Every structure is written in structure tokens, then in C-alpha cells.
Structure 1
């Protein structure tokens, strides 16, 4: 306490009072802190470097540069995350890979490091990748570049402006290619740039690594298929299907009924996609269609999918053929009995035996491939005036016949067919015999319907109430059948 002899009150005042400037400043600061609104740092700030996807300025140690001479996108990501998600990065960022190329020669940077006092510098190693576009017939691929550490972290290559190479324009994108949403790239894009798909695919790949949803079409399933297929292909290139596949599976399954309809239209394509994405739902749905239509999709799969997938298709086709053979034996053994319980024969009931014969003849004609023509195949005139051979007939598939047998009723051997057949024997044709003949035909149909029940099972998610399919859908894919679980 400071005391003055001339005033007792002044002593108390000086003992408790702060300087006016300090008091007023403290009061204003506390008021500002109480009433200052919350500041969001989403998207970075002009006062501090960005430290979020796609550029982690403070913690990133792997720089990825994608540039085509017209635009570029830079990522500064983490070695740990990239190595966990991708076998390509796990190998490229390993210590064995780094030492395999040999140590770099001393340079000005290392000389400067020697002059810095010990303990005053924390060296930060940064790996650098650039996209090499290759030739027109090659897929672009990330190539690791040498990166030299700087005094205060980062690398000298990253601090310099990237060299932009002019790349010849790529051919026009294929059918169903749509322009992707490049808002996640944080750079202005040119809609007509032929490399937009590549920028989108790499951005989606790295977004998935950081648990962000990929930018895929949520409305048009045809566009979504193309984008998902492209993303899976790049995921396969970088050994990252275990991470990419579930994202693609999740996105496509959101289309629900529309997805099942698309698979029914293009089963071989979705079988390949389902295998790459490790999607049990898509793979199973497509497999049922492929087996039911086989060998229609053979050319689209042979040489384009893993041998394990083709082996599974052929195994399921063999299983279905065996089941159809057992059912056919039962169908040809169907018969009728007389009122005494005897088997109908030509001697004890000619009319009813004729009904059995008609059914067997119809079954034989429709379940046996047509004989090969003896004469040369006819030719049709082409545009240039020459006669070109006719296209080969579609593969013979008995699925439609078994579907008719499973439906019964008037779907086959109806009233008109029975009438025409009975008129071939005028002595037996009359109204009463026609009615009795049709009743016995209907009895055989009911027995046939029971015999084909094992083939009428449906293991599709597709709603068949809107329209049936001309092939069997009784193929069942068990959990042990998936070729990626071996």
C-alpha cells in the first residue's frame, strides 16, 4: 500500500484502483468475447492456411498433382491414410521403396540445413505424385517424383509452380457419359474439357479414402453406372477395391427397383461390376439372369472376367441343366388312368391316349433343338448389293417352355389346337369328344404344372408382377459361392 500524509481517502483509492486505460480495455475485451458470433472455419480462412480435404497444410505429407495443361488440382494428404486404403500407395510410400532409389545428392538445401542450429528445425518429408497421362491408348497413372525437404517443412518442388504440359484432346466420351459435379475440386472447370472424367474419378477415389461420399449421379442410373464403373477401374489400378467397392455398392443400391430393372437389361455388365465392387446383391441378381439366358452372354464375359466367375456361371448352368433333365423325365412319364385305375393305352381308351400323345409331341418339339439345315444357309442382300449370310438364330433356350408349363391354363395347347388335332380323325370328332378331350388335356397340364415346380422358383429381387421373363430364374447363389470369399 502507498500512503500520502495529506489525504486518508486517497490512500484507499490508490490501493484499490487500477489505471483507467487498463480497466476500460479489459471491460471492452470481455464484452467483445461475450457477444462475438461463432466463426465457422469450414472451407478454410483467409487468416490461416487450409487444413482439410483436399489440402492439409499442417499435417499433409503426400502431395498429388493432377494437371492437363488447362487446369489442375492439388491434394496434400497423409501417408498413413493413403497407405491404409491403397496397396499402390502402401508400396510406394514404404521405406523399402524410398531406399531402393538411392539417396539424393547433397544440394543447397542440405548445406543450409547444416548451418541451422541443432534442435531449431523439424524437417518434414513430403512425397510427391504427378499424373502421367501417357499415350492416347493408355490409362493415366500417378508417378512418384523426387521431393526434397526444405528448411521449414514441405519440399522445394511443391513450393515451385507446377509445369503444365499440353495434352492432345482425348476422344469424345462414350455414351451415357455425363459431366460430373466438380464442386469438390475447388477449381473452376470447363464443361467441354475431355479430361473431366479423369479429374472426377481421381477426386472420387481420394474422397472415398477420407470417408467422403463420392460425387456420383444420384438420379440417372445409366450415368451412375458409368461413373461407378470408372471409379472401380481406377480403384482396381491402385489396389483399393476393398475401400471403393462398398461405396459403389451403397450408391447403386439406393436406386432400389430401378437398379433391378437395369440389371435385367444388361446382366453381363452388372455381373462384372458386382464382382469388382464385391457387391453380393448386385452380383447375385446379375448371376441369376446370366445363367437363365446362357449362353447368350458368353461373348461379353469370356476373357473379361476372372476365371472363377466363369467357372461359377458354368457350374450353375450345369446344375440347372441337370434339374431340367430330371423334370423332363417326369413330364414324359406323365399319363392318365381309366375309371378302373388302369393306365390309358390305345387299346382301352383311344381318345384319351391321343390326348397323352399330343402333349408328349408338343413337349418333344419344344424342348429339342431344331435340326441343322441340310441346304446352305440363305443369304440376304446387303447395302453394297452383295448377298450376305443371315445372322445366326438366337441360342436355343427351353426356359420359356418350362415357364408355359408352370403357368398352365390356356397358355399352350388351347381350344383351337385341340380342335385342329381332333379333326385329323373325322370319325372321332364331335362336340362331346372335344369336351372330353380338352378335360383330359387340362388334367395332364395340372400334372405337368406340379412336375415343373422346382424350376419355377424365383431368386430375383426384380418384381416379376410387371411382366415375366422368357427364361428361368431358379438359380440360387449361396454364401459360399461368391468368388471373392475364397
Structure 2
């Protein structure tokens, strides 16, 4: 304080004040830096409220840990329950109450679910916690295990100490099918040197990313790696009853490979058939199914017991339809004939050379569409109880029909016709050979028209440059054929 004498001799006290500009500047500085203050030892950390940790709104905590590596998620029950039947059941009121009461009875701790706070000023919410259990052995599949849900106050404090972890887990509808699908056929992909647990971290992260409408982190360049990652993600989704959400994402990612995808399907049709079924991908499933039916029963060992019976039944139905069509076509081919100028059917008596051309064609067709007869002689050891010899492999006639559909010099070529006529030297002349070749060419043209129904191609794979496949691809897949549409 500073005293100044006034005219009356009395003293007047005045407070020394800073200049207004200084005061306003300081206040502005304080306001500018105030949001950056922290109550945590001077750190500028701000609570996260976005994927994968929703600090303010999340109510389902998921911990995936292996050694020093740990990934924490704080997500929303509503979203998890909408995307996964596992989480819908595990976070339901009935399940949570039953687990809390059961655990409380074992540990003599009263259940805390449904507790009403005495202090009405503090709001409470329920929170669930899951931790990944890696299992005891290599055969066990890592699985999320639920801890008993607890109530937390709006200010972050727990209402009470919860019971020990609950080891039970709600049953998922397709868990058995998942275990049977775990043995996908190997695709000769080099094994990575990374920790196998890294794949688990990746799969769970992709699972939750898709739940929150983020694109999964899948290989966009190497289709073999993308297949492995997609297969693993689908298996995980099957475990947690989330195929309806994960399947379309996998389908979208693989279809981006376009032509490369269809070439891979042609190489490994049974594997992609299983993947297409899990992903509910009509494009992948149809493409693989056409290959499988055309090669059947080549892929039976990779599919039977590893796919639902509905898929096997669909394959067998399509194989039966194809065999029925082939039988009708074969009957027409064997009945092909020439007629004379009078309209009579050619016989050895009225046109020997034309009849020989028809006979050679039928003989070639019979040899290439009929399995060889079983040997008459028995094995010397059969009388001692030794197992009988394995049955002959099923004959796939697709290659023969493709040759007929191609026509020209693809079969019964010039040299073969020449050798045939030379069997009877009396009838072998240059004129007869030329006439024999012309008549055989006419017969081939007729046969090519007959087999056109078998030459249809319903694959997305371009067969033009590769010269076709050794089996038929005329199997048509309708909307009602997809087994998941039932």
C-alpha cells in the first residue's frame, strides 16, 4: 500500500495494479494452456475413446496376452452381441446372473449383479471381462474365457471384489463344425518364422475390426497368404458364431484378386469349396463346386467328414445330374450313322467303307469311355485271407468329350486311319484313304454338335488360353443350390 496526503491531510490508500495488457495477456496464456494440464505427474495423456479402447463408453474388456505381448480391447456389448452369438449369449442377463450366483456360492461371496447403489448420486454400469485361455496342450484351441461381470461407478471405481474367473463358456452352434474344418488341406505355403501367437493376435484384431466396420488387415498382394489369413479368420468367426458378419468381408477381399483367384480355385478346389461355404460366398463356392463335380471323386477324401453333409449331398446330386447327361450324350454318339443316297442306313453290304468309318469311331468311343474289365485271375494270396487288390480308379470321361467337342485332328488322326485301312491290304488305296478321311471328318462334325451340352462352361476362369481342362465344367449352380439358403 502507498499513502498519499490529500488536501484534508487524511491519507488515501491505493492498491498497485498491473497494467491491463499484462493481466489480460496472462489470463489468456493461462486459458490457452489449461487444457494441456494433467493430473498424472505432468503427462499430457488423454483418455482414448475410439477403437480399440473406448474408455468412456466401452463395457466389455477383452485381454489377449502371450508372454510380454498384450492387446487390450474395451468394446461395446451392443455391437459385440449384434455381430457374435457367443457374445450375445455370454453377456446376456440370464447368463451373467447364473455365472455370478454360481461363482458366489463356490466362494461364499454374495453376487454383486443387480446391486443398487446406496448413494443415488453415483451412477453404475455393468462391465464384462474376457481373457484368452491358450489351453493346456497343442490340440486345444485358444478360447476367450469370461470373468464374472462387475459393476463400476461412473467415476471408475469397482463396487466390490468379484468372484474368481468363470471357466465355463456359452456353447456356440457351429463349434463342432469348426473343429472339423480346422484341417484344411495344405497349399504348400512356406511357413513364416514369426511367433505362432502373432497369428492369433492378428485374427482377433481382424475379427473386432470387422465388427466395428474397419477393413481387416489381410494380404492384398500374395493370394496364397491371403487364403491362409482368410481361412484362419473364418475359423475364428465360426468359433464365435460370427460368420454372417465376417464372411462378406472375406468374400470381398478375395474377389479383388479377380483372375488370380479363379486360377487358385482351379488348383485347390476342395480347399476353396470349404472356404467358400464358411464365407457364404456364392462366387467362390460355385467356382469351386464346378471343379469338384467335374473331377469327382478326386476330392472326396478332402471333403467327406470335413464339410456338412448338405454339401456332400449337393456334390453327389450334381455328379448324378452330370452322369445322366453324359449317358444321354453317349447313347446318341453310339447311334450315329450314315445313310446311302437312297436314304438307307449304311451296312457292310451297301457301303463297306462308310460302315468301317462308323465302326472305327464307335470302337474308339467304347475304349475311351468304358473302364477296362476286371482281371479274371485272382491274386495268389487271396485264399490266405489277404485283402483283395484295390479297385480300379474311376474313369473320368471329361477329357474324351472335350476331344470330341474340339473335333478336327484332336483324335483319330491321319496316321491312325491309315493303319486301320492297312489291316486289310486289299482295300487300302489312296482314293479309299482320302474318302475314308472325308467320311470320318463328317462323322466328327456330327459328333461335335451332339456333345455341345457338355461343352458349356459355367466357370469364371478363362479356358481359352489354357486349352481347356481335362474334365467337364458344365455344372450349373442355381440360387436354390446353395446349402446355406435353406
**Residue 349 of structure 1: which of 348, 351, 355 is its match?**
351
Partner SS, residue 465 of structure 1 = coil
2:189 alignment partner in structure 1: 176
Equivalence for 1:60: 58
Cα offsets for 1:353-406 (capped at 9, x unmatched):
111100011111111011122346799xxxxxxxxx999764310101000000
Distance 1:322 1:282 in 2: 26
Query: Is contact 2:96–2:148 with CA below 8 Å preserved after alignment?
Result: no
Q: 1:215 aligns with which of 214, 217, 235?
A: 217
Aligned counterparts of 1:448 and 1:406: Cα–Cα separation in 2: 8
Deviation per residue, 1:227-276 (Å, 9 max, x gap): 11111111000000000100110111011111000000010110000000
Partner of 1:367: 369
Given candidates 268, 277, 280, the residue that maps to 1:266 is 268
**Does residue 478 of structure 1 match 2:482?**
no
Deviation at 1:423, TM superposition (A): 0.4
Counterpart of 1:74? 72
Distance, in Å, in 1 between the alignment partners of 2:74 and 2:159 is 14
Tell me, in whole angstroms, the C-alpha distance in 2 between the residues paired with 1:274 and 1:155: 46
Between stretches 354-363 and 339-348, larger displacement belongs to 339-348
Deviation at 1:341, TM superposition (A): 2.5
Aligned residue for 1:91?
Answer: 89
**CA offsets per residue over residues 123-156 of structure 1, 9 Å max, x none?**
2321000111112101111110124334433658
Query: Could you give the per-residue CA deviations for residues 401-424 of structure 1, whole angstroms, max 9, x where no partner exists?
Result: 000000000001110010000001
- Give the match's secondary structure for 1:76: strand
RMSD (Å) for aligned C-alpha atoms: 3.1
Match of 1:130 in 2: 131
Write the distance in 2 (CA, Å) between the matches of 1:319 and 1:441. 31
Helix, strand or coil for the counterpart of 1:64? Answer: strand
Structure 1 CA distance, aligned partners of 2:465 and 2:378? 42
- CA distance in 2 between counterparts of 1:415 and 1:312 reads 43
For residue 417 of structure 2, what is the aligned residue in structure 1? 418
| Residue 156 of structure 2 is aligned to residue 153 of structure 1 | yes
Equivalent in the alignment of 2:286: 284
Q: Structure 1 residues 246, 154: closer, same or farther in 2, change over 3 A?
A: farther
CA contact (8 A) 1:301 1:310 kept: yes
Given the superposition, is the C-alpha separation of residues 71 and 23 from structure 1 closer, same or farther in structure 2, using an over 3 Å criterion? closer
Q: CA deviation at 1:448?
A: 0.2
Contact 1:147–1:155, Cα closer than 8 Å, also in 2: no
Q: Give me the whole-angstrom Cα distance separating, in 1, the residues matched to 2:48 and 2:132.
A: 23
TM-score by length of structure 1 reads 0.80
Aligned-partner Cα distance in 2 for 1:20–1:70:
55
> How far has the Cα of 1:109 moved from its partner?
12
Distance apart, 1:71 and its partner CA: 1.4
Which residue of 337, 340, 348 corresponds with 1:338? Answer: 340
Aligned to 2:171: none
CA distance in 1, matches of 2:469, 2:391: 22
* Residue matched to 1:404: 403
Alpha-carbon distance between aligned partners in 2 of 1:410 and 1:378, rounded to the nearest angstrom? 45
Q: Give the equivalent residue in structure 1 for 2:253.
A: 251
1:391–1:52 distance in 2 versus 1, CA, 3 Å: farther
Q: How far is 1:27 from its partner?
A: 7.7
What are the equivalent positions in structure 2 for 1:448-463 lying under 5 Å apart? 448-463=447-462
Relative distance call for 1:158 and 1:338 in structure 2 (3 A) is: farther
Q: 1:120, CA displacement in angstroms? A: 2.6
Q: Is the 8 A contact 1:126 1:147 kept in 2?
A: yes
Indicate if the aligned counterparts of 1:126 and 1:154 stay in contact, CA closer than 8 A.
Answer: no
Structure 1 residue 47 displacement after superposition: 3.2
Asked if the contact 1:123–1:153 (Cα under 8 Å) also holds between the matched residues in 2, the reply is no
Residue 297 of structure 1 corresponds to 299
Pair 408,154 (structure 1): closer, same or farther in 2 beyond 3 Å: farther
Q: Which residue of 1 aligns with 2:121?
A: 120
2:52–2:74 CA contact under 8 A, matched in 1:
yes
Alpha-carbon distance between aligned partners in 1 of 2:161 and 2:375, rounded to the nearest angstrom = 72
Per-residue deviation, 1:177: 6.2
- Structure 1 unmatched runs, 5+: 1-5, 7-17, 34-44, 163-173, 180-190, 380-388
Per the TM alignment, residue 21 of structure 1 is displaced from its structure 2 partner at its CA by: 4.2
Change (3 A) 1:47 1:436: same
Contact 1:271 1:287 in 2 (8 A): yes
Contact persistence 1:125–1:155 (CA under 8 A):
no
Structure 2: runs of 5 or more not aligned:
1-6, 8-18, 34-42, 166-185, 382-387
